[in-house]
Amino acid sequence: MFSKRVPDDRATTRLARAVESARRRGPVLDLTLSNPTRAGLSYPVDILDTLADGAALTYSPEPFGLRTARDAVTATYLRRGVRTSSDRIVLTASTSDAYSLLFKLLCEPGRSSVLTPVPSYPLFDHLTRLDGVESRRYALEYHGNWSIASGEVDRAWSGDTRAVLAVSPNNPTGSIVRDPDAAELVHACASRDAALIVDEVFREYPLQPSLPEAAALDAPECLVFRLGGLSKSAGLPQVKLGWISVDGPAALVAEALDRLELICDTYLSVSTPVQVAAPALIEGGRDVRDRILDRIRGNYGALQARAASAPGVTVLNADGGWSAVLRVPATAGEEQLALDLLERHAVVVHPGYFFDFAHEAYLVVSLLPDPSIFERGIDLVLESAYAT
């Protein structure tokens, strides 16, 4: 059974203060960078020009978003071989907005729960709490690759569970949902009248040549909501556009879309300029995406090569995404190692407890930094980990 390892607030505060102190002393080697617009990547100078399209001067509210924008999103799924249609695409202001809409659709505040994976990004704790939904965790475990720990979904399930969240590729593990895990999640949801929410925001960033699609998600037996957005797929976090693709049995999809229409019509959260610009932004984002992909693959390769000669340090296998996980000697503990890196070398890394790793000792690094910064920082991480 998974035993959640949570630091107290003092540990988080200590690390935050150490980061601030290091920044005051001078430049830092930030291996936690997650903002592509600050990663030294070159963006096309005209990439945002379409946000000024005169067509956006006319306001035509559509609960699910403008058809032209939904058509452009649909095309991204069809290129992957995922069957959908524009009638099943719902535009949102962001992926966080998409989660909130789905919690409103599926859950009752104070009376419902959803299952969330660990390790994973801590944002879920905040998103569920803000909508009055309980988050119950199911554990992933690592045996050369990440998969759902045996019996974890059944253990975490309760009578008020309304959805299961999966992240593919996961942040920070970089793991994707493969069969049979996908089949287990679909079966659990179908047999218990729940929905599966699959966050695919990092899907465009395979660290291998390609990412396989989970067969169980093709014509699924339960409601499946796939989430995506421009923040990651085009490297444009400041351009607020996300989306939901709805799939599952026809009757359930129709009912979900009817209820989502009311929710979306109540909020109308997506701006008209970004909807008008969506086709061009999705197409133009390919250039940015290719540059990010080259960056993260290059850094991941450099990390693997350097770690291969570092005693006691292992780079865990990842399928995609912008992060990598290092298993390091637990002699001093991951928090102390992170603090030592800050104080001695001005290197910023995330300790594993930020993401609810079940035990010591892991460090999480971003693959986005400029290669010169990344490689210098990693050399110091490996040197410090070995020294402990």
Residue 1 domain-assigned? no
pLDDT at 388: 61
Residue 243 domain-assigned? yes
Distance between the two ends of the chain, CA-based, in angstroms? Answer: 30
pLDDT at 148: 97
Question: Residues 245, 357: one domain?
Answer: no
Q: In this structure, is the dihedral angle defined by the CA atoms of residues 180, 123, 172 and 213, taken in order, positive or negative?
A: positive
For residues 69-102, one letter each, b for 16 or more C-beta atoms within 10 angstroms of the residue's C-beta and e for the rest, the string is bbebbbebbeeeebebebebbbbbbbbbbbbbbb
H helices of 194-333, in order, are 230-233, 250-267, 272-307
Q: Find the CATH number of the domain harbouring 62.
A: 3.40.640.10
| Mean confidence (pLDDT) of the chain | 94
As for how many domains the chain has, the answer is: 2
Question: Residues 248, 127: one domain?
Answer: yes
Residue type, position 361, single letter: A
CA distances from residue 317 to 41, 145, 301, 321, 380 in whole angstroms, order as listed: 25, 6, 12, 12, 21
66: domain range? 49-284
Question: Residues 229, 368: one domain?
Answer: no
Question: Residues 166, 296: one domain?
Answer: no
Tokens of 148: 């759902």
Tokens of 52: 């000024």
How much is the pTM? 0.95
pLDDT at 1: 28
Question: Residues 208, 64: one domain?
Answer: yes
Residue 372: φ, ψ to 5°: -65, -40
Question: Residues 190, 167: one domain?
Answer: yes
Question: Residues 100, 179: one domain?
Answer: yes
Question: Residues 200, 347: one domain?
Answer: no
Residue type, position 113, single letter: S
pLDDT in tens, 290-310: 999 999 999 999 999 999 999
pLDDT in tens, 219-254: 999 999 999 999 999 999 999 999 999 999 999 999
The DSSP annotation for 274-300 comes to HHHHHHHHHHHHHHHHHHHHHHHHHHH
